């Protein structure tokens, strides 16, 4: 219970520091007054207050650092730093994450920037040199602060980079970069990176490009090579979680390591110690994303509990893992992967046993029903998150997950086995990969079919934070009448309140090149003048990625009238959905 209270306090302090523009002190004073008159819960309230203050000061310090460390820096800079992530091959440049060791601006060394991280974009030239993980480089380039939110409710690139601990972007050319040293990073990380590269190489030698990229994403979380079409199919069929390393992968890793160690008979306690060490390495190998860190920390907590002969508590394991991730980087709270991972886990833990279902004697049917209940339990919690970030809901998630989950299990197990064999006996791995290829093709087919099912992807207007809070309060409330009242209120607020008369509203939408204007009349008729656009629809679809999210954020789900000022491609070439 203590860890749970500390975790809640930490989250409260972070949210207060990020979104509320006034001091947290009055709130803490209020809590202290309550503690004085409430002896039974005094210690918990005081504990909550202390850690709430600590996290609030922590996030305030970080926010101030993000503003001040590069506040007076713009234009050309000289940087010495180490590459901490392999290159992302984009159409016009290579992207690297670089840890800054030295930074000079206007001839002066900026000490405050040491130890920070920047995103380096190296423009492609006729002759390109790919730098590697751990390379220490010196470069000259143009520093830019990351772009903030361009439209109401729109994507905030600056906040996104904060979840990666990145302070800014430097644009440079290959000719302006010089290699100083290789392998300038600790031995464990270097080894994990080499293993990761070897895994990718072995997979690419066994499978087609499409299948290899998908298997790499499933096994080690590297989705860079997966085509936009496949990612879109997985996203629209509500299967995108299968492309993220999570609890299922960690469970199979533990199962495999335990099985192997049991065969060599080293003892159960020593086996658990080795499993903990391997899980730590696996976390580094797969990029230490929030989802894999959550799953690994929870698994390690259970293993340590077994070593100490203590019964694990699922609430403590969730709270402890979340607390560790937030101490490591409070901006993880803003990460969509973090929210979906914990949301799904909490949903399964809280609702799975509460949903009653008939027991069947037929094992396959029983497994299917259990799988459906697990999927439903997770989605009860993550549906508002999907609505908030993606403006979509799905009514076919049960179908897609029931069809795809067994295939995914086979792909993960067979994939790990084949990758392991490829390091030892490559001809055998090539033979087994033919079988794996069939399952990968079936998985791609299922994702494609399910993404095109009716009601697989329904666009919805963005819910307010208050509506989301009320929803979560309703699903955890034990009072049935209160649940009915809250859900009735939510339906009314979503359907009927937007119909009430209001003032005339006029919005100018930032669509990059081109123009777009939205007019909403007092009777909620929506008029769109131009839709923005782009000269090259293959690079960025303004309609899909900018205009539609903006309309849904403004509560517009239908365009009543559309006017076109002229027919240039940057004014009318866009997609519209209802």
Taking only the tens place, the pLDDT of each residue in 297-316 is 999 999 999 888 888 889 89
Report the pLDDT value the prediction gives residue 570, as an integer from 0 to 100: 61
pLDDT tens digit string along 423-433?
988 889 999 99
- In this structure, CATH architecture of domain 75-185: Beta Barrel (2.40)
Report the pLDDT value the prediction gives residue 222, as an integer from 0 to 100: 86
Report the pLDDT value the prediction gives residue 363, as an integer from 0 to 100: 77
Q: What is the mean pLDDT of residues 463-489?
A: 88
Report the pLDDT value the prediction gives residue 37, as an integer from 0 to 100: 86
Overall residue count recorded for the chain in this entry:
578
Give the SS3 label for residue 82. Answer: strand
Confidence of residue 540 (pLDDT cuts 50, 70, 90): low
Q: Which residues contact 414 (CB under 8 A, 6 or more apart)?
A: 432, 435, 436, 439
Give yes or no for residue 578 having a pLDDT over 60: no
Q: What is the mean pLDDT of residues 29-55?
A: 90
Give the SS3 label for residue 121. Answer: strand
Confidence of residue 574 (pLDDT cuts 50, 70, 90): very low
pLDDT tens digit string along 149-206?
888 888 888 999 999 999 999 999 988 999 999 999 999 999 999 999 999 999 999 9
Mean pLDDT of the chain: 88
Confidence of residue 572 (pLDDT cuts 50, 70, 90): low
Proportion of the chain above pLDDT 70, given as a percent: 96
Domain with CATH 2.40.50 in the chain: 75-185
Q: What's the whole-model pTM score? A: 0.86
Report the pLDDT value the prediction gives residue 535, as an integer from 0 to 100: 45
Which among 78, 173, 152, 209 has a CA at the least distance from the CA of 553? Answer: 152
Give yes or no for residue 376 having a pLDDT over 80: yes
Q: What is the mean pLDDT of residues 568-572?
A: 64
Q: What is the mean pLDDT of residues 508-537?
A: 79
pLDDT tens digit string along 72-107?
898 999 999 999 998 888 878 899 999 999 999 998
């Amino acid at each position: 219970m203590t860890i749970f209270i500390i975790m809640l306090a930490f989250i409260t302090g972070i949210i207060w520091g990020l979104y509320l523009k006034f001091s947290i002190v009055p709130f803490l004073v209020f809590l202290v007054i309550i503690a004085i008159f409430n002896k039974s819960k005094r210690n918990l309230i005081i504990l909550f207050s202390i850690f709430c203050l600590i996290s609030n000061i922590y996030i305030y310090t970080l926010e101030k650092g993000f503003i001040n460390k590069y506040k007076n820096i713009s234009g050309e800079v000289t940087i010495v730093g180490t590459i901490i992530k392999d290159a992302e091959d984009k159409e016009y440049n290579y992207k690297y994450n670089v840890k800054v060791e030295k930074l000079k601006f206007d001839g002066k060394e900026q000490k405050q920037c040491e130890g920070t991280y920047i995103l380096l974009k190296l423009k492609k030239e006729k002759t390109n040199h790919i730098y590697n993980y751990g390379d220490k480089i010196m470069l000259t380039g143009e520093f830019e602060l990351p772009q903030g939110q361009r439209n109401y409710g729109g994507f905030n690139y600056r906040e996104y980079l904060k979840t990666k601990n990145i302070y800014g972007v430097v644009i440079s050319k290959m000719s302006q970069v010089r290699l100083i040293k290789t392998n300038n990073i600790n031995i464990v990380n270097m080894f994990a990176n080499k293993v990761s590269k070897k895994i990718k190489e072995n997979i690419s030698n066994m499978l087609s490009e499409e299948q290899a990229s998908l298997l790499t994403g499933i096994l080690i979380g590297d989705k860079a090579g997966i085509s936009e079409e496949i990612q879109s199919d997985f996203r629209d069929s509500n299967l995108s979680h299968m492309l993220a390393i999570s609890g299922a992968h960690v469970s199979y890793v533990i199962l495999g390591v335990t099985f192997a160690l049991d065969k060599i008979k080293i003892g159960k306690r020593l086996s658990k110690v080795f499993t903990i060490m391997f899980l730590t390495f696996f976390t580094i190998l797969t990029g230490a994303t929030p989802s894999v860190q959550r799953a690994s920390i929870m698994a390690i907590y259970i293993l340590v509990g077994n070593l100490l002969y203590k019964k694990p508590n699922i609430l403590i394991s969730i709270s402890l893992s979340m607390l560790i991730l937030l101490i490591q980087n409070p901006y993880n709270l803003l990460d969509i992967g973090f929210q979906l991972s914990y949301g799904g886990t909490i949903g399964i833990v809280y609702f799975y046993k509460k949903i009653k279902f008939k027991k069947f004697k037929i094992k396959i049917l029983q497994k299917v029903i259990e799988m459906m209940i697990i999927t439903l339990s997770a989605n009860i919690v993550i549906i508002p998150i999907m609505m908030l970030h993606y403006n979509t809901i799905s009514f076919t998630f049960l179908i897609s997950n029931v069809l795809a989950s067994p295939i995914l299990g086979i792909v993960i197990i067979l994939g790990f086995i084949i990758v392991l064999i490829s390091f030892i006996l490559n001809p055998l791995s090539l033979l087994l990969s033919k079988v794996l290829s069939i399952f990968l093709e079936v998985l791609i087919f299922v994702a494609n079919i399910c993404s095109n099912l009716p009601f697989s992807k329904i666009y919805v207007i963005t819910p307010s934070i208050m509506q989301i809070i009320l929803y979560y309060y309703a699903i955890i409330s034990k009072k049935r009448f209160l649940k009915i009242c809250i859900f009735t209120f939510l339906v009314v607020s979503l359907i009927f309140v937007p119909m009430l008369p209001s003032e005339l509203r006029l919005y100018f939408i930032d669509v990059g090149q081109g123009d777009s204007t939205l007019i909403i009349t007092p009777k909620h008729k929506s008029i769109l003048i131009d839709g923005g656009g782009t000269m090259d629809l293959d690079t960025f679809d303004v309609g899909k990625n900018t205009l539609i999210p903006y309309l849904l954020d403004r509560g517009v789900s239908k365009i009543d009238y559309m006017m076109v000022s002229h027919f240039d491609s940057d004014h009318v070439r866009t997609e519209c959905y209802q």
